[in-house]
Amino acid sequence: MKNKKSENFMNYIPVKDESITSEVAEDGNVVLKVPHNGFFDRIAQKFFHTPAVSSINLDEEGSFVWPLIDGKNNVYDISLQVKEHFGEAAEPLYPRLIKFLRIVESYRFIRFIRS
């Protein structure tokens, strides 16, 4: 059996999908604009009148984290900035941050690269 190295998730760098755009809403939170331009998406748009672009509203913490996902900051760097900005309100910091990042990764809004 090979000895596998355990990699620290904090060293991974999240990178945004280039097709996802964002804007800031009136309330100051980020709204992600997700295009639907696949083959089946176009069929659904034609026959079921589904939108070509979906809007995803992020909460205050997600809105703070989203701009920090720049392809340079690793998860640890982002966690330090979240802790500095939100203080104790961010606790439990690491489980919440990792859960957010895993969710946006599951929707393919971001991907992770090793640092």
Please identify which residue in the block is written with the tokens 């604009």: 33
Q: Is the pLDDT of residue 3 over 50?
A: no
Domain count, the chain: 1
Question: Cα–Cα distance between 20 and 16 in angstroms, integer?
Answer: 7
Residue 69 domain-assigned (yes or no): yes
- Which residue range is the domain that position 57 belongs to? 9-114
Q: What tokens were used for 1?
A: 């059996």
| Span 80-105, pLDDT tens digits | 999 999 999 999 999 999 999 999 99
Would 95 be classed as within a structural domain? yes
Cα–Cα distance, 111 to 99 (Å, whole number): 14
- Note whether residue 2 is domain-resident: no
Q: Is residue 15 part of a domain?
A: yes
Please report the pLDDT score of residue 1 as a whole number: 39
Strand runs labelled E in 46-97: 53-57
The per-residue pLDDT for range 42-81, each reduced to its tens digit, is 999 999 999 999 999 999 999 999 999 999 999 999 999 9
